[in-house]
């Protein structure tokens, strides 16, 4: 009886093994049968797009500069229209357009140093809106006490795109501001990158 039970058990095991070796198995037998999928978090984003730009105000801010008795000047919450001309070297221009800069800062004519910060909003011709924040330290370049002296203000700017093709994009730029001695007129020369996600 034990021999018969053992034989039946052995035959049942062989039947299960044979059923598991079907030709219609779902397990891939080569890498080409099931191509690997790269998880979304590991997929590469497009490389950053480099640009250069010039930024010009469309007016003076002289009447808004406050002169303090200790040899400092201060500007608070001034909004000034600007024009931006960008160069993307063959890539689509995502920056050229008009905008508005908010200017805050204080500069000391005695030490020749200042701190400046604010916001910049650009509406490019291509559509959408860039919203930047910026900050930088000013340095007075004294050539002649009044006529030829200028302020240099290297700014770090970071912006986020909204609307149209700009949605989800970021922009980082170094914008070197050159301002006249009285700080009521300036121009900007920028270098930066646009980052797509």
pLDDT value of position 7:
47
Tell me the per-residue pLDDT of 30-81, one tens digit each, with 9 for 90 and over. Answer: 545 555 554 555 556 778 999 999 999 997 776 678 888 888 999 999 999 9
| pLDDT band at 10; cut points 50, 70, 90 | very low
d(CA 45, CA 38): 13
The arithmetic mean of pLDDT across residues 90-97, rounded, is 93
* CA–CA separation, 151 and 63 (whole Å): 18
Query: Which of 9-13, 96-100, 141-145 is least confident?
Result: 9-13
3-state SS, residue 32: helix
| pLDDT at residue 28 tops 70 | no
Higher pLDDT, 177 or 47: 177
Angle at CA of residue 53, ends 84 and 66, nearest 5°: 60
Separation between Cα atoms, residue 94 and residue 46, nearest integer Å = 15
Q: Which of 15-19, 116-120, 180-184 has the highest mean pLDDT?
A: 116-120
CA pair distance 194, 180, nearest whole angstrom: 30
Span 12-40, average pLDDT: 51
Instruction: Please determine, for residue 136, whether its predicted confidence score (pLDDT) is greater than 80.
Output: yes
Q: If one looks up domain 52-195 in CATH, what number appears?
A: 2.40.160
Determine the Cα–Cα distance for residues 72 and 84; give it in Å rounded to an integer.
30
Highest mean pLDDT among 44-53, 105-114, 143-152: 105-114
Task: Look at strands 150-162 and 129-141 and give their pairing.
Answer: antiparallel
Burial degree of 101 (CB within 10 A; 0-12, 13-18, 19+): buried
Which value, to the nearest 10 degrees, does the dihedral of the CA atoms of residues 150, 107, 112, 68 take? Answer: 110
pLDDT of residue 4: 44
Percent of the chain with pLDDT over 90: 56
Q: Select from 47, 75, 55 the least CA-distant residue to 63.
A: 75
């Amino acid at each position: 009886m034990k021999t018969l039970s053992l034989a039946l058990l052995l035959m049942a095991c062989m039947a299960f093994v044979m059923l598991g070796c079907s030709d219609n198995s779902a397990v891939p037998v080569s890498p080409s049968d099931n191509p690997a999928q790269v998880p979304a978090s590991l997929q590469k984003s497009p490389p950053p797009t480099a640009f250069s730009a010039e930024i010009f105000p469309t007016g003076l801010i002289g009447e808004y500069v406050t002169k303090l008795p200790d040899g400092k000047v201060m500007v608070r919450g001034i909004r000034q229209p600007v024009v931006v001309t960008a160069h993307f070297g063959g890539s689509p221009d995502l920056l050229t357009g008009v905008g508005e800069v908010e200017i805050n800062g204080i500069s000391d004519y005695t030490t020749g140093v200042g701190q400046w910060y604010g916001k910049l909003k650009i509406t490019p011709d291509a559509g959408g809106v860039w919203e930047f924040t910026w900050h930088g330290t000013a340095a007075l370049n004294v050539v002649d006490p009044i006529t030829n002296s200028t302020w240099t203000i290297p700014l770090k700017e970071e912006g986020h795109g909204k609307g149209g093709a700009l949605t989800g994009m970021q922009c980082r730029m170094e914008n070197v501001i050159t301002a006249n001695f009285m700080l009521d007129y300036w121009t900007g020369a920028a270098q930066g990158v646009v980052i797509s996600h």
